[in-house]
Structure 1
Amino acid sequence: MSRLEGKVIVLTGAAGGIGSLVAARLQTLGAHVTGVDRARCPDCNDHIVADLADPQDLAQLAERLTVFPVDILVNVAGLQYFGPFEDQPANALRTGYLVNLVAPATLISAVLPAMRRGGSGQIVNIGSVMGSVHYPFFAAYSSAKAGLRGLSEALRREVQADGIAVTHIAPRAVRTAFNTAAINRFMTMTGMRADEPGFVADQIVKAIVDRRKDVSIGALEAFFMRLNGLFPRLVDVGLAGQAKQARRLFLP
């Protein structure tokens, strides 16, 4: 029997390119998956239609989850902006931080009391390599994902005595509609590798089943994450070429 048999899982971003694949895989392992997204999720057992960028929707969802029997919360939903930081409109900047950081934190806060009382549970946060290796022209996204990584680590230390696992997964680039035409051009220019969504979904599900703490997808990316933590100025030099290429897409 799968460890996930009969588990109630709430999955944000469930209608997206990665979320839908994760939802389908979790169901095959016997989990009951409730998807959260702005659209209905055909790969889930049931769904909650909500816009995580809308503070009212987010508050209502959080209130609903306080009385919802959640065994595992999986925060997949995300937004990505690529371009000069100053060109990002203020409302888009707020939306990015809401979806990438505030929403996961809010939903975690909603489900945590019941998990503590039950002495079990799992929080799964889908971050990014860019949360550790902070890329130029992805400044808002990188900083939000850095916050999510910090939240995951601090929370893990806080709840480990309560039987609750906290899993943080850092994918590299993925071939989904998440990528704009500019991002695709940038990846081509720099030779950046992008994984297939199915591969990433498999890694996420495996990390959930194994209750892993930290998972970085890509050996080279994991190396640069460690290197950036130890020698960030060295990584500055290494990324200078990619920053120059990105500038060509946006700046004279």
Structure 2
Amino acid sequence: MKRLDGKHVVITGAAGGIGSLVAERLAERGAHVIGIDRIGCPKCHDSILADLSSEAGLAEISATLAGMHVDLLVNIAGMQYFGPFEDQPLDNLWRGYAVNLVAPAALIRAVLPQMQQRGDGQVVNIGSMLGAVKYPFFASYSSAKAGLQGLSEGLRREIGAGGIAVTYIAPRAARTAFNSPAVMRFMELNKMKTDEPEFVADRIVAAILERRKEVFIGFQERLFMRLNALVPRLIDMGISPQAAKARHLFQ
């Protein structure tokens, strides 16, 4: 099994259900893991408290990372809104895009110059299958994750075939506190599959070690993703009954 001895790994959202498991697994493989979150990260060697939802917070953590040695940046931190789009508060909308899309872009920008100077490094962005198949009542979250996939793809093409890898991983829903009871109820009503967090963490770590370009988790979800790209109207019809069930939850 590939080792990461001596590698300095930075993980955002490292105190969360998936982030803490990824941190633990990478540390077991010899990496020195630095966690970024709003609270301390017990599974990491070091923790940095940061606010990824504000311009000032992003500027501060970007300056910190630019002054550190970073071999691997893993953007896991996320924020999800589930509900009617017109009911989403403006500050929540702003913070959602900041955490899900702007923060990864800002942190990549901070560490990329040193990786380019060394000719080695890896950036890992954790997206969502909801970014590939955009779901009603997840409009802002879906669009932010779609943007994160676009950022990953565009950056990969910009960097070219050098020593820097850009990995995008899109899990489906996992059974963690990230998903609210309302989200879990929606998935239960629609018989949507969820994964154990340990399974998702293992897939993320495997993709990191293999320096994969893109990983989409879930056979059925990958099928929907391909159909959505080819015949989106078919997916519109398939999702319509699910949207009706979701709408009932908010009435």
| TM-score scaled by length of structure 1 | 0.98
- How many matched pairs? 251
Displacement after TM superposition at 1:55 (Å): 1.9
Alignment match, 1:22: 22
- Structure 1 stretches lacking a partner, 5+ long: none
Displacement after TM superposition at 1:229 (Å): 1.1
Q: Structure 1 segments of 4 or more deviating over 6 A?
A: none
Q: Partners in 2 of 1:14 and 1:30 — Cα distance?
A: 17
Displacement after TM superposition at 1:3 (Å): 3.6
Q: Partners in 1 of 2:116 and 2:86 — Cα distance?
A: 42
Alpha-carbon deviations, 1:194-219, whole Å to 9, x = none? 10100000000000000000001111
Contact 1:136 1:243 in 2 (8 A): yes
Question: Which of 144-153 and 223-232 deviates more?
Answer: 223-232
Displacement after TM superposition at 1:37 (Å): 0.1
Alpha-carbon deviations, 1:59-105, whole Å to 9, x = none? 10001111211000000000000000000000000000000000000
Alignment match, 1:167: 167
Alignment match, 1:82: 82
- The 5 Å alignment of 1:186-197 reads 186-197=186-197
- Structure 2 stretches lacking a partner, 5+ long: none
Displacement after TM superposition at 1:148 (Å): 0.1
Alignment match, 2:41: 41
Displacement after TM superposition at 1:232 (Å): 1.1
- The 5 Å alignment of 1:128-167 reads 128-167=128-167
Equivalent position amino acid for 2:218 in 1? G
Q: Partners in 2 of 1:39 and 1:127 — Cα distance?
A: 22
Displacement after TM superposition at 1:2 (Å): 3.1
Contact 1:11 1:34 in 2 (8 A): yes
Displacement after TM superposition at 1:160 (Å): 2.4
| TM-score scaled by length of structure 2 | 0.98
- 1:162 is paired with a residue of what secondary structure? coil
Displacement after TM superposition at 1:58 (Å): 1.2
- The 5 Å alignment of 1:1-252 reads 2-251=2-251
- 1:18 is paired with a residue of what secondary structure? helix
Alpha-carbon deviations, 1:86-139, whole Å to 9, x = none? 000000000000000000000000000010111011000000001110000000
Q: Partners in 1 of 2:218 and 2:188 — Cα distance?
A: 18
Identity of aligned residues (%): 63
Q: Partners in 1 of 2:95 and 2:59 — Cα distance?
A: 15
Q: Partners in 1 of 2:189 and 2:125 — Cα distance?
A: 30
